[in-house]
Amino acid sequence: MERLQKVLAHAGVASRRKCEELILAGRVSVDGEIVTQLGAKVDPSRQRIAVDGVPIELEQPVVLVLNKPVAYLSTVSDPLGRRTVMQLLPPIRERVYPVGRLDYDTSGLLLFTNDGELTQRLLHPSREIEKVYRVSVRGIVDRETRRALMEGVELEDGVTAPAKVEVLRQADREDGVAVVHLAIHEGRNRQVRRMFERLGLPVLRLKRIAFGPVSLGHLKTGEWRALTQEEWVALYQAAGMTPPPYRRPTISREPARKGAARASARDHGSRRG
């Protein structure tokens, strides 16, 4: 027997917190009876669970990594018809969604999963899961700038938590561009850009290269892959969860979504996504 909100989250309905809201709103039923108690326990293998009258489909958790290009929205759909990251994934049977987001003009590592509890824990500030960014800025990243980043930058929504800084390339007279690796565990809106801009260093390019124990590696822009088994275990452990059995996504035989055919073909070929 498991808590109802946990079963809903594992089925990919939403995060556990959102599932709790659905229960409280009277939108969840078990064997035809509306359940509004958060402490209710169910046996998903024996009982019929539905949201708004639609039975949930129990899915085994999967996790994907995408190297997001710029000019894509980190959302499942967009009412204005703009390109979303979902168009870069192959037609898989599991209902995955992005773990957090990357800004429209930011590229790099974006996780996808159908495990709502994993998503919630990875994004919760209390876990302090580190994200690493490769940042190209206009100007010199001097000692004072590094110290400010490591001690915390005063933004309009408060001082940032201490960051880790590694200067890979200092600005020179030719192009005036410095390249930095910045590691933070917060997730404020456009935080990295605002930190550097507050210090007088406009961001030219921004790419996330790691999320907790998962690194982008040599994954090319627009490509995706499943986690390795080692990454799978490490990611769940970083979220404070017992890793479920390792599983790769199930490729559907349905026609690929626009923009996903190339990645899907690679998945069946040399990349074995």
Task: List residues with catalytic annotation.
Answer: 103
Q: Is 144 helix (H, G, I), strand (E, B) or coil?
A: helix
Question: What does each C-alpha distance from 36 to 11, 187, 256 come to in angstroms?
Answer: 18, 32, 39
Q: Would you state the structure tokens that stand for residue 151, as one six-digit string?
A: 């001690």
The distance from CA 228 to its chain's CA centroid, rounded to whole angstroms, is 16
Q: How far apart are CA 85 and CA 75, in angstroms?
A: 7
Give the C-alpha separation, 132 to 181, whole Å: 7
Q: Measuring CA to CA, which residue among 245, 185, 230 is closest to residue 211?
A: 185
Task: Report which of 92, 17, 95 is spatially closest to residue 54, judged by C-alpha positions.
Answer: 95
